[in-house]
Structure 1
Amino acid sequence: MHFLSPILEEYIAGHSQEEPQILQELTRETHLKVVRPRMLTGHFQGRVLSLLSKIIRPNTILEIGTYTGYSAICLAEGLPYDGKLHTVDKNEELYEIQRRYFNKSGFGGKIIQHTGDALEIIPKLEVVFDLVFIDAEKMDYPAYFEAVLKKTKSGSIILSDNVLWSGKVVEPLDPKDKTTKVVLDYNRQLKEDARVETVLLPIRDGLTLSRVR
């Protein structure tokens, strides 16, 4: 489902901050060499993540779902000189392209890569995170949320991507569609969970912003 017409999407992007050259290069290489390039965060949402990070001014960031590194670079733009971003992805084949662009972006020294199952890695991180971005396997969103809550503090921000799930959240539910059911339950959970304050933003495929109480 397209929430906005292409011409309106073009207008929005054209009246937002320009996409950095390094991210344009990463986008081109991802489309040329990596499967499922639509998973890229993209210009508009990337600038949203960058600005949110700069507003929040986190010392520590956790990202679940690195893909080729686009969103990590955007989030890293808001880190202080001694800040760190931990990013987790299960696909070890993407490690090299991630590292190459992290280094080219100038944020290489601030970004720590982890390869493997996020639910096994997160409990081992001895870090309290100011900002978390969840953008990985949708079936595991509830488990990711519980895992990261234990690594946050009052005032920490948790961002959850793809929560509109291409509009399927407002369509009749196919009983066989387990992923959409999980997304629906997750959205309901965030709204009703007393541990966080939540607002769902209609940005791209849906971005939920939750503040830990």
Structure 2
Amino acid sequence: MHFLSDDLDQYIVKHSENEPELLQQLTRETYQKILQPRMLSGHYQGRVLSILSKLVNPKSVLEIGTYTGYSALCLAEGMQSKGELHTIDINEELYDFQRKYFDLSPYGKQIYQHLGNALEIIPKLNTTFDLVFIDADKENYSKYFELIIDKLNLGGIILSDNVLWSGKVLDTKFKKEDTSTPALIAYNKLLKEDPRVETVVLPIRDGLTISRKV
């Protein structure tokens, strides 16, 4: 969802950091070969993720929802030299595609793929994290938060994508089959009211929340 005019949006992108060549290649191949290519973080949001990661300079990163690996590579740009990034996805058909681009990057040996249900995998991760990015099934955002909050180091950051859900979070009535919208409304309320984090919502693309553990 775009909250700004196309001209202003293009101006913002033009005056932000350039998209790395490897990520341009990843984008092209995703659009050529993979279903639902719009799920990519994309140039502008990718640069936002990159600079936020550089500000945090995490030793450990967790990503919930890998897709084709674009956002993982953006987040990896800010990792410490001996840092590690764990990324979880349920789609085994994308595993080799992700690995290809991870290994073409400077961070290949630092990125660990986990295949399966994140609700089952997260409790088994024997580490804590400085930075977490949630971009998976919206119905489970609140459950992911509860699983990761105790694994998040003090001062650590949770980034949550799609929190404005094309503006649907303003809806007061939902279609019976729409489970994502009420789940995101509940999640946004959770982040606002939970005393363990301080939160700000950014109107970037489809909405990006930054929550800091206090």
Shift of residue 178, structure 1, vs aligned partner: 2.1
Secondary structure of the equivalent of 1:194? Answer: coil
**TM-score normalized by the length of structure 1:** 0.98
Specify whether residues 2 and 203 from structure 1 end up closer, same or farther in structure 2 by C-alpha distance, changes over 3 A only. Answer: closer
Aligned residues: 213
Name the residue aligned to 2:191. Answer: 190
Shift of residue 171, structure 1, vs aligned partner: 3.2
Name the residue aligned to 2:181. Answer: 180
> Residues of 2 paired with 1:173 and 1:57: CA distance?
41
**TM-score normalized by the length of structure 2:** 0.97
Secondary structure of the equivalent of 1:181? Answer: helix
Name the residue aligned to 1:13. Answer: 13
Name the amino acid aligned to 1:46: G
Range with bigger deviation, 163-172 or 128-137: 163-172
Contact 1:89 1:118 in 2 (8 A): yes
Name the residue aligned to 1:84. Answer: 84
Q: What does residue range 49-198 of structure 1 map to in structure 2 within 5 Å? A: 49-176=49-176, 177-198=178-199
Measured against aligned partners, the alpha-carbon deviations of 1:120-151 in whole angstroms (never above 9, x if no partner) come to 00100011100000000000001000011121
Secondary structure of the equivalent of 1:191? Answer: helix
Name the residue aligned to 1:210. Answer: 211
Contact 1:88 1:114 in 2 (8 A): yes
Secondary structure of the equivalent of 1:148? Answer: helix
**Structure 1: segments with no counterpart, 5+ residues:** none
**Structure 2: segments with no counterpart, 5+ residues:** none
> Residues of 2 paired with 1:116 and 1:130: CA distance?
22
Measured against aligned partners, the alpha-carbon deviations of 1:72-98 in whole angstroms (never above 9, x if no partner) come to 000000011100000000000000110
Contact 1:40 1:67 in 2 (8 A): yes
Name the amino acid aligned to 2:53: S
> Residues of 2 paired with 1:109 and 1:212: CA distance?
28
Shift of residue 39, structure 1, vs aligned partner: 0.2
Secondary structure of the equivalent of 2:61? Answer: strand
Runs of 4+ in 1 over 2 A off after TM superposition: none
Specify whether residues 202 and 71 from structure 1 end up closer, same or farther in structure 2 by C-alpha distance, changes over 3 A only. Answer: same
